[in-house]
Each structure stands twice: as C-alpha cells, then as structure tokens.
Amino acid sequence: MNRLNILTFPDPRLRKKAIPITAFDKDLEKKADDMLFTMYEDKGIGLAATQVDIHERLIVIDLSEDRSEPLIIINPSYTVLDDTLEVSKEGCLSIPTFQQEVPRAKEIELTYQDLNGREQKLIADGLLGYCIQHEIDHLNGKLLVDYASSLKRSRIKEKLMKSKDVKNKN
Ligand SMILES: [Zn+2]
C-alpha cells in the first residue's frame, strides 16, 4: 500500500468536480486501499479521492476506535431524512489546523456502490452522517473554508501558504 500525497488548501485541484466511477476493477481496489492507508497514517476519519488528486467519486471512512471498520463508498448520493440542521465543529486533512462549525442535515439516507459495483443503502446520523456530507462536499469541489467568513478564509489561506513556503525552502 502506498501513502498518497494529500493536497492542501488553497490548491486549485481541490476544486475539481469528481466524475462517476464505471470500472469496478483491481485498479479501483488499489486506489481504495491506498486511500485507507493514507487516512490511517494521517489519523483522519474520512478521505475523499479529490484530496489525493484522484478526481473520481470515491470516499473512504472509518469511525471506529481501533480503525477496523473501513467503509468504502463509491458514487455516493443521499437524500435528507431529517432536515433539522445540526452544527458541529469539523476539521479536514486538507486544511491543517483549521476548524469550522458547519450546519449539516441530522439524518440522511446514503445510496452508493461497493467495490463490486453492487448498490448499497445506509441510513446515517450523528458523526457518520456529517462525515459523509463532508466527504461528498469534497467530490463536488466544496471545502470547509466555504462555510467560513471571508476574513477567516483569507487568514487560513495566508497561514497555509506561508507554511508551504517554509517547507519548500527546507
Ligand atoms: Zn475534508
């Protein structure tokens, strides 16, 4: 398994809209494996393909304490079952040190395909529901910073660009 490079804001590639997956083959399996590995290494709970510069509709999630319940979600879409908006603080592997309160639908029904291309359904609320909504945002080129004020957005942009400069010089 390979650890993939995670793009960080404001990299414009994070704004690309991902395309549907049509081939359920070994190549797709490898992408999902590498993404899970990368997510575990970086101690994230979810990762969208967009974040590792793969612009296909694939996300991985694992909310378990011992990192033993990987969820591989392909071509996801959801309907809102309970549209009460709940606000919680979210972070993102592509925006280090940044946190943002985001309103998310309380309960959703997710429809997706698994690695074999079989259609699956999942009703999700709480953290799992928010996480799915966060990762689907990524596939559509939307980021946590879009929920922030423009002042907060430019501050984090400056901060991350500065730390990138430092890294490049070393
Ligand atoms: Zn994210």
Q: What is the pLDDT of residues 80-115, one digit of tens each?
A: 999 999 999 999 999 999 999 999 999 999 999 999
| CA of 116 relative to ligand 1 center, distance in Å | 25
Q: Does the pLDDT value for residue 169 go beyond 70?
A: no
Give domain status of residue 99, yes or no. yes
The predicted pLDDT at position 5 comes to: 97
* 101 contact partners, CB below 8 Å, separation of at least 6: 87, 88, 89, 90, 147
| CA of 96 relative to ligand 1 center, distance in Å | 10
Please state the domain count of the chain: 1
Tokens linked to 18 = 């991902």
pTM: 0.95
Give domain status of residue 22, yes or no. yes
**Mean of the per-residue pLDDT values of the chain:** 96
The predicted pLDDT at position 164 comes to: 81
Q: What is the mean pLDDT of residues 20-25?
A: 98
Give domain status of residue 163, yes or no. yes
CA distance 93 to 135: 11
| CA of 127 relative to ligand 1 center, distance in Å | 14
- Domain interval for residue 41: 12-169
The model's pLDDT over 127-156, given as tens digits with 9 standing for 90+, comes to: 999 999 999 999 999 999 999 999 999 999
| CA of 26 relative to ligand 1 center, distance in Å | 26
Give domain status of residue 162, yes or no. yes
| CA of 18 relative to ligand 1 center, distance in Å | 14
SS3 content of the chain, % helix, strand, coil (to 5): 35, 30, 35
Q: Letter for the amino acid at 153?
A: R
Give domain status of residue 1, yes or no. no
CATH at residue 160: 3.90.45.10
Q: Which one from 65, 109, 119, 135 is the annotated catalytic residue?
A: 135
Give the Cβ contact number of residue 170 at 10 Å: 5
Give domain status of residue 4, yes or no. no
Q: How would residue 165 be classed by pLDDT, with cut points 50, 70 and 90?
A: confident
Annotated catalytic, 135? yes
- HSE of 112, CA atoms in CB hemisphere, 13 A: 21
The predicted pLDDT at position 170 comes to: 58
Give domain status of residue 112, yes or no. yes
Give domain status of residue 3, yes or no. no
Residues within 5 Å of ion ligand 1, judged at the Cβ atom: 92
Q: What is the mean pLDDT of residues 20-28?
A: 98
